[in-house]
Amino acid sequence: MALLPDRPQLRTWLRTWAIAFVGYTALALLSFGYKYLDFVSRRQAIDWRVPFVKEITGVYLALLLLPASIWAARRWPPRRRGIPLFVLRHLLTACAIGFMHTTLMAISRQILFPLLGVGQYNYGDMRVRYWMEGSMQLIVYALTAGFVWLLDRYKASRDLEVSQAQLQTELAQAQLRNLQLQLQPQFLFNALNAISSVMYEDVARRPIPWSRVSAIFSA
């Protein structure tokens, strides 16, 4: 049970992925509109479902693989040392994610096209298709990793500011407590000193003049 996120973390996680889903959906619809209108502008007849399925599957499968890109970006953050190994790791990760993305697009479209009644889907020569899709997938991976690194650095900077503010507050409170501890013995010392200074002047005189005591306190 301890491994489960608490409610605030769960709400944050759900809100983040809801925003990502809406954003990717908007991207898919915009891309679909661009592709479809391209055919319309050329006066080429095409079933709107063809570019729609292509763009929806491409974008949503990219969203499905997004956690892998985020994990790799945080697993190997940029450092001053070991740059060749850093580049190699991310290049291999981008290739692996791109390979899965292209493969899943081919499989999902081969399933959906007949179900929607738009014929069989032909992705072409897969050996060429992997290279063709790989260039754009590499760019998307680099942009995703860069965004994750900038976001994590910003969060680390904000956490450091909050931690410094808390330390300053705790330091001020500690100084105040120390001052109070210093004042308490000083007050007791002044009181005893005032009493001892007047108690032997006139033992029979009562009470001890308060003006004398207050004058000593204020000294």
65-104 pLDDT, tens digit each: 999 999 999 999 998 888 999 999 999 999 999 999 999 9
Single-letter amino acid, residue 119:
G
Structural domain contains residue 167: no
Q: Could you say which DSSP state residue 2 is in?
A: T
Q: Residue 141, exposed/middle/buried by CB under 10 A (0-12, 13-18, 19+)? A: buried
Structural domain contains residue 132: yes
Residues 126 and 39 in one domain: yes
Structural domain contains residue 2: no
Structural domain contains residue 104: yes
Residues 44 and 138 in one domain: yes
Give the span between the Cα atoms of 27 and 55, in whole angstroms: 9
Across the 219 residues of the chain, what is the mean pLDDT of every consecutive 10-residue run? 64 86 92 90 88 93 94 92 91 96 95 90 90 92 94 88 86 81 65 64 54 53
Q: Can you give the pLDDT at residue 1?
A: 43
Structural domain contains residue 66: yes
Q: Can you give the pLDDT at residue 114?
A: 92
Give the span between the Cα atoms of 155 and 151, in whole angstroms: 6
Structural domain contains residue 102: yes
Residues 155 and 176 in one domain: no
Residues 149 and 192 in one domain: no
Q: Can you give the pLDDT at residue 203?
A: 53
Residues 117 and 184 in one domain: no
Structural domain contains residue 1: no
Residues 189 and 131 in one domain: no
Residues 90 and 181 in one domain: no
Structure tokens at 58: 């491409």
What CA–CA distances, in Å, run from 154 to 2, 52, 76, 78, 161? 28, 37, 17, 15, 11
Q: Can you give the pLDDT at residue 12?
A: 82
Q: Can you give the pLDDT at residue 77?
A: 92
Structure-derived torsion over alpha carbons of residues 49, 52, 53, 55, reported in degrees to the nearest 10: 160
Residues 141 and 184 in one domain: no
Structural domain contains residue 164: no
What residue numbers bound the domain in which 27 lies?
8-159
